[in-house]
A = this chain, B = another copy of it.
Amino acid sequence: MTSQCVTVRVQSEDFDQAVETALLTKGRTDIGAVATFSGLCRGEGETLTALELEHYPGMAESEIETVTNEAMKRWPIDGLTVIHRYGKILPGEQIVLVIATSKHRDAAFDGARYVMDFLKTNAPFWKKEHRADGDDSNWVDAREEDEQAKARWE
């Protein structure tokens, strides 16, 4: 295994955090820190029956790669895995996974959070709500907090 390894996947299938973590850490003794973030679909008090994620094929992957490349430049990260799903996702199911590994915890934490912050505002994905009351017309609004979160890295 090389000393730096970046994986970016955009897929409709679910993923297994334990499998992805093992791919980054198995057989290695130089990694001291693994920071992981997973984003789940919320049911919003049972008002939602599902989220439908639309994406821009090609650009979704390349935007995430731009973010991971920047993270690898900024911090001494050994491995970085980003998986983002599209399609219909039910409450409680996984939407996104970021894993960053490093010798020390600061690089792992910073790397994972940086990727999430930029992915939120730069990667071309859009969430549509399927509501329990039958209304399937509402698209989730972008959050001002997400723009602010990105700004803290500048």
A interface with B by C-beta (< 8 Å): 17-18, 21, 25, 27-43, 45-46, 91-92, 103-106, 108-109, 112-113, 116, 145, 149
Contact = CB atoms under 8 A, between A and B. Distances in A.
Nearest 8 CB-CB pairings of A with B = A29-B43, A29-B91, A36-B36, A18-B18, A32-B42, A34-B38, A29-B92, A109-B113
Given A25-B92, A28-B92, 18 more contacts: A17-B18, A18-B18, A29-B41, A29-B43, A29-B46, A32-B40, A33-B37, A33-B38, A33-B40, A34-B38, A34-B40, A35-B112, A37-B105, A37-B108, A39-B105, A105-B113, A105-B116, A109-B112
A7 to B, nearest CB: 18
What's the number of copies of this chain in the assembled complex? 2
**For the complex, would chain A's binding face be called helix, strand, loop or mixed by DSSP majority?**
mixed
A17 B35 CA distance: 12
A117 to B, nearest CB: 9
A42 B113 contact: no
Contacts of A104: 145
A39 B34 CA distance: 6
Contact of A106 (B32, B92, B149): B149
